[in-house]
Amino acid sequence: YPTEVYGNPSSAHAVGRAARAGLDEAHARVAARLGVEAREVVFTSGGTEANNLALKGAAWAGKGRGHRIVTSGVEHHAVGHTLRYLEKFGFEIVEVPVDRYGRVDPDQLEAALSDRTILVSIMLANNEVGTIQPIEEIARLVRSRRGILFHVDAVQAAPYVPLDLRVLDADLLSIAAHKFEGPKGVGVLFVRHGTHILAQQHGGTQERHRRAGTENVAGAVGLATAFDLSCDEQAETAARLARHRERLARAILAVPGTELTGHPTDRLPGLLSLIARGTDGASVTVSLDLEGIATSVGSACTTGSTEVSHVLTAMGYPEDEARGALRLSLGRTTTDEEVAVVADVVPRVLASMRTGAATVASDPLGQGATVSA
């Protein structure tokens, strides 16, 4: 598509019509996998734009009916920061607390709803700790209150959790191609037919007037193709990654002072998150990178930030513990051999850094003196 079917899909000539055919097919393929209609699929530049379009579009469209938006304290910054932006314009943002596992209590969410609530936004699976939310129960609660739209950020869940909108029953849902090995820079916002949102990008009439601008045809086709492949392999991939994750968890959690973060069972198969007390997650990540192992302390979107994870803070972890966060992500191509290496190296690095930290704490000047408690 970048080199052969390169036409503008809005053009009437043959090259443009070929691009339009590819784009239309991409809409249809994604829609079929989501259990929706092709006209309900909007291609965006990624998950961040999809979330922005959903939240801002629904908020401004519903301003005349109310101003309250209900969410949680563990949402991705693409949701959290967007809602903070809307707050500047008079919208009331209510964050429902989560438990130690990062899960929303549906009863508390229901209590936060009022006759002025216009939108609820809860992610399907957390991008840092992997916790899966009781999204179907939450959807039923929202559905029982007429006039409230329900948005689901499903970006992290897309490779591993079936996204059947006939079951999830959301009005708006976001996904991004790079999470299931598609091209970076393209995503989808599902907009249920009849759901009114205000466009946030203006110019042309593309994407049924919901997202102006010449479409990224190659990206859309790439997303649709990758999504097809990911969905076909989803059950097998999820089962295999869950086995890998448990193997790593057994090895790493044997190190004293380590603790699994996120829900112990209702979690994504390809994500292992933990706290290693007595270590600094950023330093551990650098040490593991030198060993050829790529890890992170949280979301890739917050790399470079000096602040501790807002997710762990919302889950009740104090700052000193949250700084020991470590996240390991597994993918479709992760091998048994790679898992074996990581299961050997990570515990060794963590134990070494904990020992070093303890030595510094007991003898900070290196003179054999001990520090009293």
C-alpha 163/C-alpha 181 separation (Å) is 17
3-state class (DSSP) for residue 123: coil
> Phi then psi for 327, rounded to 5 degrees?
-125, 130
The half-sphere exposure of 66 on its side-chain side, counting CA atoms within 13 A, is: 18
C-alpha 185/C-alpha 181 separation (Å) is 12
Using CA atoms, how far residue 198 sits from 77, 93, 202, in Å, is: 21, 19, 10
3-state class (DSSP) for residue 125: strand
SS (H, E, C) 212-263: CCCCCHHHHHHHHHHHHHHHHHHHHHHHHHHHHHHHHHHHHCCCCCEEECCC
Helical (H) or strand (E) element with 29:
helix 14-34
Q: Shortest CA distance to 128 belongs to which of 260, 290, 293, 283?
A: 260
Look at the block and give the residue holding tokens 């739209």.
149
Q: Which of 239, 286, 301, 371 is catalytic?
A: 301
Q: Verify whether residue 301 is a known catalytic residue.
A: yes
What are the structure tokens assigned to 143, written together? 């559905």
C-alpha 231/C-alpha 32 separation (Å) is 11
300-306 contacts at long range (C-beta below 8 A, 24 or more positions apart): 301/76, 301/77, 301/78, 302/77
Q: How far is CA 171 from the centre of its chain?
A: 18
Helix 336-362 with 281-290: angle, nearest 10 deg: 130
Which residues are catalytic, by number?
A: 301
